[in-house]
Amino acid sequence: MFWLIPTIAVYTIVLGIASITSSFFDRRGYFAHGCARAWSWLILATTGVEVTVHGLERLVQGKTYVFVANHQSFYDIPCLFWSIPFQLRIIAKESLGRFPMIGPHLKRTGHMLVDRKHPDRSGIFGWASRLTANGLSLIIFPEGTRSRDGFLGKFKGGSIMLAMQAGLPLVPISVVGSRHVMNKGELTTKPGRVTVIVHPPIEIPASAEPSVSDVRKLADRVRDVIRPAVEAEAKGEVLP
């Protein structure tokens, strides 16, 4: 860690500055996303993590999706940003928008800042339209926290509801093995292999006021798609 932390810090700072600077000229955030992908590759290469992806042929290039993934490790983010060849954006707390440089940068490059207690429905539709117009996609982790043992937690409905309101197709993703690279609550990393499985998209109609029941059913449906491969690995079984 004496050399790993300084090394990661250097290219995080360099790419972070490049990303923030580019957002003043490239409002779609394509260059900034390229910086995020380069950072992800460097993280994986520096720490000896190999990622294998299955199922990309199920996706249509340039289409807007909401990618829904399980969450095992800090490494889920670099694994997905590097292995999914789409312009990915995130949902962040609205409070991040008040941070100098970071908040404006997130807004300029297409990320969504949400007041989770008082979501702005008109803002959601406007944001979804910008995603589609600019060929951007969203990635969410509905568990809300990282799993320690590999077994999936309950999927929260908030981010799923946003996708339902916007009428964007959901793509379940199983991230398998990242917990062995960096355990929750630890700073140390280990070389390893991570498998990313892209499942078939789930098309959903736009619904301005989805019921709690509908949100819960869809969240459970997506979870049921992701779970078999993830929990098979957790049990020491062969991936289905």
- pTM for the full predicted model: 0.86
Enter the DSSP assignment of 3.
T
Q: Flag whether 11 is in a domain.
A: no
| Mean pLDDT in residue range 88-108 | 71
CB 89 within 8 A of CB 139: yes
Tell me if 97 sits within 8 A of 103, measured CB to CB: yes
What is the rounded average pLDDT of the residues 57-72? Answer: 91
Amino acid in the structure at residue 28:
R
Q: Is residue 220 part of a domain?
A: yes
Paired with 88 in beta bridges are: 137
Is residue 204 assigned to a domain?
Answer: yes
Query: Which has more pLDDT, 165 or 214?
Result: 214
Query: Is the distance from CB of 26 to CB of 32 less than 8 angstroms?
Result: yes
| Residue at 41 is within a domain | no
Position 80 scores a pLDDT of: 95
Residue with tokens 């062969």: 238
H or E, element range at 4: helix 4-22
Which residue, among 223, 230, 69, 221, has the nearest Cα to 154 in the 3D structure? 223
Q: Flag whether 44 is in a domain.
A: no
Q: Is residue 25 part of a domain?
A: no
131 vs 174 pLDDT, higher one: 174
Residue 132 counted as domain residue: yes
Least confident of 59-68, 156-165, 167-176, 223-232: 156-165
CA nearest to 47, candidates 219, 214, 238, 181: 181
Nearest C-alpha neighbor of 197 from the set 98, 10, 73, 56: 56
* Residue 130 falls inside a structural domain: yes
pLDDT of residue 41: 95
Q: Please give the tally of structural domains in the chain.
A: 1
How many C-beta atoms lie closer than 10 Å to residue 48's C-beta? 12
Check if the beta carbon of residue 136 is closer than 8 Å to that of residue 64. yes
Residue 65's domain comprises 49-234
Place of tokens 């908040």: 103
